[in-house]
Amino acid sequence: MALPYMLKHRGFPGRLAGTDFQFTLRRANPKGATALVVRERFKDRKSTDRRADIAFVQALLTQFGGEPFERGNLDAGRLSWLFGREVKAFQPDGFDIESYEAILILDLDLIKVNFPEALEAE
């Protein structure tokens, strides 16, 4: 069975250094991309989870800035912590939450509010 097409974002960190927090996938899932969902971020999240969010947002800002980008090999679990808030569907009509080719965009104004640390390290 041929794997679905999945753009690999060259130069994007694979994980948060020193942890098991994954940022990218090595290969496409033969059954298709894992669906993006909106995950609730609670105030009492662990500091390591928060560090992973900040590092991922920093990597997204460095790689894409305010430009639309293809989901590609970005990890669905990590994206889901930001999806619907800091990471949004570029064109919500017809957006496929289970596509590696889905086009996303960063909400820079919301990142300034929710992740100011990500902007400081840029």
pLDDT surpasses 90 at 3: no
- Round the average pLDDT of the chain to a whole number and report it: 92
> What is the reported pTM?
0.92
Cα Rg, the chain, nearest whole Å: 14
Instruction: Give start and end residues of each alpha helix (H) in 1-122.
Output: 47-64, 76-80, 108-114, 116-120
**What does the alpha-carbon distance between residue 12 and residue 94 come to, in Å, rounded to a whole number?**
27
**What does the alpha-carbon distance between residue 98 and residue 43 come to, in Å, rounded to a whole number?**
28
Q: What is the pLDDT of residues 46-94, one digit of tens each?
A: 999 999 999 999 999 999 999 999 999 999 999 999 999 999 999 989 9
Beta strand segments in 1-122, E: 69-70, 87-89, 103-106
Count of other CB atoms within 10 angstroms of residue 56? 27
